[in-house]
Amino acid sequence: MLMKGAELEPRKQIRLVNRYVNTQQYSDDRVGLTTGPGNEWETLTEFLQRGGDCEDFAVAKYFILREFGFDAEDMRVVVGREPQRTTHHALLAVRFENDVLLLENDNTVRQNGRQEMYNFVYALNENGIWDHENKD
């Protein structure tokens, strides 16, 4: 995948990485669903060996795109709250060509301006953490 992707233009690399990572096994690790402490973030190697849940998918996409030369400042793993549910969801946001693309686990790539599914709580990358909660 890395060799094939190296020849593609950046937008196609984003779609390739999204599709490739989304073929991995989904495994929910929230507290109460496993015997471990719950909601552990996998390393890329761990994820590729045994799968993971939404934050693991987002982190894997982040590091593979870094291998393709995408700048860390143009990417964030974002965690949002789903208004209709009490759960949180993580996905990768990539700033690209004056837009922000949101890479989902179902192979969709949403443009940030067309996103109403999540209230973002925080974002992170290797350089920092950003709080998105509304301040009263």
Mean pLDDT value of segment 119-132: 91
CA distances from 46 to 14, 16, 56, 59 (A): 22, 20, 9, 11
Distance CA 125, CA 83 (A): 24
pLDDT-based confidence at residue 113 (cuts at 50, 70, 90):
low
Q: Rounded to 5 degrees, what are φ and ψ at 30?
A: -65, 155
- What percentage of the chain carries pLDDT values higher than 90? 56
Fold of 2-131: C8orf32 fold (3.10.620)
For residue 27 the two structure tokens come to: 């495994």
pLDDT at 136: 47
pLDDT-based confidence at residue 135 (cuts at 50, 70, 90):
low
Break the chain into its structural domains and give their ranges.
Answer: 2-131
CA distances from 102 to 19, 35, 47, 107, 109 (A): 13, 32, 20, 10, 5
